[in-house]
Amino acid sequence: NAGVTQTPKFQVLKTGQSMTLQCAQDMNHEYMSWYRQDPGMGLRLIHYSVGAGITDQGEVPNGYNVSRSTTEDFPLRLLSAAPSQTSVYFCASRRFSGGNTIYFGEGSWLTVV
């Protein structure tokens, strides 16, 4: 199993541009989520999904869209990038039933100039 795969690893955007961070998992996990991590901070939940066709907002959803058309994929879209969205983004997945380990991707470093 490849686990959780995120692309791209690094990206520089200009203010106002849009882009999509890709996330895929091959563990047949129902639950997928996106977090952002700012310097010296913990992870803040952006959006999450408990299955194909179901998404919900986390703590900091503004400026981001998600969709879950398949179990495997959970892309994160930045609609109009702002410097405040400069961060490291982590995708994660786990089996839906509580108490299961969450598996993280290696992160996507995004800089908005």
Binding site for another protein (CB under 8 A): 4, 31, 33, 35, 40-45, 48, 50, 56, 58-59, 90, 92, 94, 96, 98-99, 101-107
Helix, strand, coil percentages (3-state) for the chain, rounded to 5, are 5, 50, 45
* Shorter beta-carbon distance to another protein: residue 14 or 42: 42
CB of 107: closest distance to another protein in angstroms? 6
Nearer to another protein, 2 or 99 (CB): 99
Task: Determine phi and psi for 85, rounding to 5 degrees.
Answer: -90, 5
Amino acid type, 25: Q
Least Å distance, CB 105 to another protein, is: 6
Largest CA distance in the chain: 40
Please, what is the minimum distance in Å from the beta carbon of residue 77 to another protein? 20
CA 82 to chain centre: 17
CB of 95 to another protein, least distance (A): 12
The C-alpha atoms of residue 100 and residue 10 are separated, in whole angstroms, by 29
Q: Which is nearer to another protein, 14 or 101 (CB)?
A: 101
